Amino acid sequence: MTGAESESLLPNDCREILVRFEPAYEGYFPARLVLGQGLPALPFIGSTGAIADSCGVDETVLSFGSIEANQTLSRPVRIANTSDQVIRISPQSDSPRFVVNGFIGDLLPGDSATIYVIFSPEGEGDWTGTISTGHPMCSQIECSGDSYRIPNVAPDRLGIYFNGSFTENEIESEAGGIVEAAIVLINPSAETGVLGWECTVGIEGEAMMLDWNLEGDALNIAGAPEFIVGLTRAPLPYAQAIRLATFRVLVLTDETPSFLSVGPTSVPSIAGRMAWAPRDFANLIPLYSVTGGPVVAAINGAVAADIPSAPGIAYANSRVHLHWLVPEAVGSAFLVYRRVGDSEPELLTQAPVPVSDGVASFTDRPTGYAAGTRLYYSYATVQDGLESARSDEALFTVDDTPVLVTRLLPSFPNPFNPQTKIQFEIARAGRVQVAIYDLSGRLVKTLVDGHMEVGSDTRIWQGRDNEGRPVASGSYFVRLSTEGKVDHQKVMLLK
């Protein structure tokens, strides 16, 4: 360092200090320049030689896809010290939506450690963030994901339950026993409370209904077990499960089962449906049974659930999110179909959709449809590898064509061996080129070179060049080029 003799500076005066970096050997050199008492210290970092290859990060791009708001998803990232020097790892994130946990400390030569990046969105939106490892020669980790809200899973369901927590719809009773049951509205889609409701309750088997008790200041203008109920004063308060009425059943024999069912009234307000009123009787909401079929409870027997009538739909971030409850008696996996207008249904899933905690869900991203286009979604249960039954269809009307952006989407898997999917979107029709380059800029493989229409596409790169020869392990660049737009992405081949 030159020009650093001790001296005093007058107000508004300045001096120039020259700092020279002269390493005697390869390595990573941090330093601090102290300017004087009460003055800030200036940090300096320098490196030389092979330290440029001192750190390997196995995933530099993390795409978390779509998850429900307020849920979390974790992905591991491996960091390796490939140098002959000790390096220090201290990961940090620039976004509260992407939290990093795991290893903090020194990595010896040849050692590796794992950190965990956690995607934790608090609301709807598309999110991005960057994870820094804390070492200047380690690659940063670019993170992306989007989140959505599902207002209710399988909303507006009607069931009959035998316990106060509304979880038991099967019960055993001796002959001559009296069983108390409750009619319950599950997951109301409006949070205004219940002003009225209508349905018919039936019983099949050796049992008879004794008496009824309506919740709140309610009046039934029909004759039980048919109900057309209005609340004369305040509505029943909102809850995730709202008790509408209770009744008692006398069990005549315990040798045969008795089944309790719900269905529409003889003259329903909504054709073929049960219904409830959140604010006034001019805006009724359809009700569906919790099992998808009329039988919702059993005494001395089991409830054989049907497929629910249709999936629930939530729309956010240009994506359609389908969700439905899955009773234990229904098959454990499903296929999803989409029908456009009057066309035949198209299978959207290549493999069965699994079930988690009694809920199945699927996300579709329809693109290129004009406003007003009607999309019909349904699902089918899969048992023993075969489709056994199809649900009713749920309608989604496209309000506006989702906006596409010309870009590369995250490749998967990455790192990869032996092949990876190169995914991209084209916002404007025209000539498109997608190619693979090595780190020196040499063309390795051309995947696309020609005219393409608007939409999404995927190409497979099998780790070979244009001559069909396998390429070496290492990092490569994917380059998307269109008229007026260029995008790059790094992928890593491991062998």
Q: Minimum mean pLDDT among 106-110, 187-191, 388-392, 432-436: which range?
A: 388-392
Q: Is the pLDDT assigned to residue 457 strictly greater than 50?
A: yes
Cβ burial 66-100 (10 Å sphere, 16+ → b, else e)? bbbbeeebebebebbbebebebebebebeeebbbb
Vertex 464: Cα angle to 458 and 467 (nearest 5): 115
Q: If you average pLDDT over residues 33-39, what whole number do you get?
A: 68
CATH number of 407-493: 2.60.40.4070
What contacts 161, CB < 8 A, 6 or more positions away? 167, 168, 169, 181, 182, 184, 297
Strands 61-68 and 141-148 turn out to be parallel
Q: If you average pLDDT over residues 15-43, what whole number do you get?
A: 65
Give the Cα separation of 323 and 153 in Å (integer): 6
Residue 125: how many CB atoms within 10 A of its CB? Answer: 14
Give the Cα separation of 16 and 441 in Å (integer): 40
Q: What CATH architecture applies to the domain 54-148?
A: Sandwich (2.60)
Give the Cα separation of 479 and 468 in Å (integer): 19
User: What residues does each domain of the chain span?
Assistant: 1-53, 54-148, 169-299, 312-397, 407-493
Dihedral angle sign, alpha carbons of residues 306, 307, 309, 315: positive
Give the Cα separation of 421 and 437 in Å (integer): 16
Dihedral angle sign, alpha carbons of residues 453, 456, 460, 466: positive
**What would the two tokens of residue 269 be?**
């307000």
**For residue 401, which of 373, 423, 363, 430 has the smallest C-alpha distance?**
373
- In sequence order, the β-bridge partners of residue 38 are none
- Quick one: pLDDT band at residue 52, thresholds 50, 70, 90? very low
Domain at 169-299, CATH class: mainly beta
- Quick one: pLDDT band at residue 336, thresholds 50, 70, 90? very high
User: Between these two residues, 492 and 30, which has the higher pLDDT value?
Assistant: 492
User: What string of DSSP letters covers 153-208?
Assistant: SS-SEEEEESSTTS---EE---TT-EEEEEEEEES-SSSS-BSEEEEEEEEESSEE
What contacts 390, CB < 8 A, 6 or more positions away? 307, 337, 378, 379, 380
Q: Is the peptide bond before 415 cis (omega within 30 degrees of 0)?
A: yes
Q: Is the peptide bond before 413 cis (omega within 30 degrees of 0)?
A: yes
Share of the chain above pLDDT 90, in %: 33
Give this prediction's pTM.
Answer: 0.42
Q: How far is CA 17 from CA 8, 13, 40, 44, 151, in A?
A: 14, 14, 15, 14, 62
Domains 312-397 and 407-493 share a fold: yes
Terminal C-alpha separation, the chain = 47
Side-chain half-sphere CA neighbours of 33 within 13 A: 13
Q: Is the pLDDT assigned to residue 404 strictly greater than 70?
A: no
Give the containing element (helix H, strand E) for 48.
strand 41-48
Give the Cα separation of 48 and 409 in Å (integer): 35
pLDDT at 130: 93
Matching CATH number, 312-397, of 3.20.20.80, 1.10.287.890, 2.60.40.10, 2.60.40.2140: 2.60.40.2140
**What would the two tokens of residue 281 be?**
């009787």
CA 96, chain centre distance (Å): 18
Q: Is the pLDDT assigned to residue 362 strictly greater than 80?
A: yes
Residue 313: how many CB atoms within 10 A of its CB? Answer: 17
Q: If you average pLDDT over residues 203-219, what whole number do you get?
A: 93
User: What string of DSSP letters covers 269-331?
Assistant: SBTTBEEEESS-TTS-EEEEETTSSSEEEEESS-------SS-EEEEETTEEEEEEE--TTS-
- 278-324 pLDDT, tens per residue? 977 778 888 888 876 788 999 999 886 555 567 878 776 677 888 87
- Quick one: pLDDT band at residue 50, thresholds 50, 70, 90? very low
